[in-house]
Structure 1
Amino acid sequence: MVPETNVFDLNQLRRSCSSCALGELCLPAGIGHDDLDRLDTTVRDKRMLDRGGVLYRDGDPFAALYVVRSGSLKTFVQDEAGDVQVLGFHLPGEIIGFDALALNRHVSQAEALERSSICELPYARLQQVISEVPALHRQLMRVISREVIEEHRHLVMMGRQQAQEQLAIFLKSLADRYQRLQRDGIALSLPMSRYDIANYLGLVVETVSRLFSRLEEMGVLEVNRKAVRILRPDLLADLCRNNTAATKRHDTG
């Protein structure tokens, strides 16, 4: 039994964080009160990370999955020469740590982009509860599947020839994730740096800065430092599908 101070109150989760992926994982339709009591013993209380704080490192043994409660994190790999490749950005309500499932150790590093709070799901206990609550297993598979889809999207972005299309797909994907988490998908707050975005997309930071300015000139975005408002979601979607056609619409508009 987890000590009372380390148990997260799922009733409080219901009241205060309906958009959290922990709610999607732990509170699917049909789970009764007794099952919620089982889940109540699974979730450790939140931990705080300051900006730059490390949640786990490459090579750390696999012990838990983590839910971003507030703030945001990035995951990345670093080679022996110190070169970094950003793998993803993780928003409130999203679950991370799946990279360790195959080898029972983490193969990437997770670092806070800003002051963040994290809820811990010890995996051994989670497996036990999953065996007792089949609905929870189905939900976990859905979340893992979503992570695979995000990785596919990243590969698609990296393979695009047009840098403007890459950035458009990134912003559209971010807006879609905001909406899925019941947040404003028009007014985006970008906790990651322009360097991190460039690294994630396989571009240079000067190109990313220039593209933000161009999209602002086209009337697609309004940019104020890390705050980005999507003024023309239709045109942003066009840029994701067909860079040439969207540019022509702007030029003839």
Structure 2
Amino acid sequence: MQTLHETSASAHSAGPRHAAHCSTCSLRQYCMPEGLSATDTDKLQSVIVNARNIRRGETLFRIGDTFDALYAIRSGSLKTVVTSANGRDQVMGLHLGGDALGLEGFENGHHACRAVALEDSSVCVVPLSAFERACRETTAIQRRLLQLLSREVVRKSTQTMILGTLRADERVAALLLDISSRLTRRGYAGSEFNLRFTRDDMGSFLGITLETVSRTLSRFQAKGLLRTDGKLIHILDFEGLRAV
């Protein structure tokens, strides 16, 4: 599988790219810290090397790659994956527009997961050295980094709770409601969306089998909670889904 992560000598010259302008980005309010002055906004935008395009199925970075940049999803979606001791892939997260990627690299200077595009996507590339300098110079940017790290802690804690305490049908319902909520916060429709996760990805993320995912979605549809058409999910009864 092709990877877009490069060594420091060529990291910012390889792969399709185009200029990234925070001021015109539809996810600006979700992605950027609140309270930035025009000067600080220009400073933050100046550390973004470019917005890089990633085709569906391509890898942004791999386990063990040097952590030399942060990434913010400008459009599309990606999943993060780790590999267990027996060589089996485990999906750890679904990341949508405005989400940051690569934060786990702060631990030891190397990426601890693989990030793969679920659809044709675009990411803003933020070199680590430039971002750290911006954090030292601007309190709002430093605070935003802490918020992003905190969001990762909450996300992992929530996933642990889902895997440890919920039944299979509750896990599927929780995932669909979470995706709906995240899309709504970004200004998109929360009741009807394309689920970029495959059924296999859903099972891996939720700790259940592909067959269980398919049966659960079929039961939800039979109960009138939702309607599916391939990857398209149309939630018909939010209260019923929450009550699962």
Structure-1 separation of matches of 2:131 and 2:31? 11
1:142 paired to 2:147 = yes
Letter in 2 for 1:28: E
SS at 2:140 equivalent? helix
Structure 1 vs Structure 2: percent identity of aligned residues?
Answer: 32
Unaligned 5+ segments in structure 1 are: 240-253
Q: Tell whether 2:228 aligns with 1:216.
A: no
Corresponding position: 1:8 with 2:20: yes
Give the superposition deviation at 1:65.
1.1
8 Å CA contact 2:163–2:207 kept in 1: the answer is: yes
1:95 matches 2:95? no
> Displaced runs of 4+ in structure 1, greater than 2 A?
5-13, 23-27, 79-82
What SS does structure 2 have at the residue aligned with 1:172? helix
| Selected match of 2:65 from 43, 46, 60 | 60
- Check if 1:73 corresponds to 2:88: no
Q: Answer with 134-143 or 44-53: which moved more.
A: 134-143
Alpha-carbon distance in 1 for matches of 2:207, 2:159: 10
Asked if 2 retains the 8 angstrom alpha-carbon contact of 1:60 and 1:105, the reply is yes
Aligned CA RMSD, in angstroms, stands at 1.9
CA offset digits 1:108-158 (Å, max 9, x no partner): 100111111111111111111111111122222222212221111111111
Structure 1 or 2, whichever has the larger Rg, is 1
Contact 1:25 1:136 in 2 (8 A): no
Q: Could you tell me whether the CA contact under 8 Å between 1:160 and 1:166 is conserved in 2?
A: no
Query: Counterpart of 1:26?
Result: 32
Q: Give the TM-score taking structure 1 as reference length.
A: 0.85
- For structure 2, the 5+ residue unaligned runs are 1-11
Residue matched to 1:39 = 44
Post-superposition offset of 1:70:
1.3
Equivalent residue letter for 1:8: A
The structure in which a higher percent of residues are helix is: 1
Equivalent position of 1:129 in the other structure: 134
8 Å CA contact retained: 1:64, 1:123: yes
Q: How many residues align?
A: 230
Contact residue 25 and residue 140 of structure 1 kept, 8 A: no
Distance 1:145 1:27, change over 3 A: closer
Aligned pair 1:230/2:242, yes or no?
no
In structure 1, give the amino acid aligned to 2:32: C
Name the SS for the 2:155 alignment partner. Answer: helix
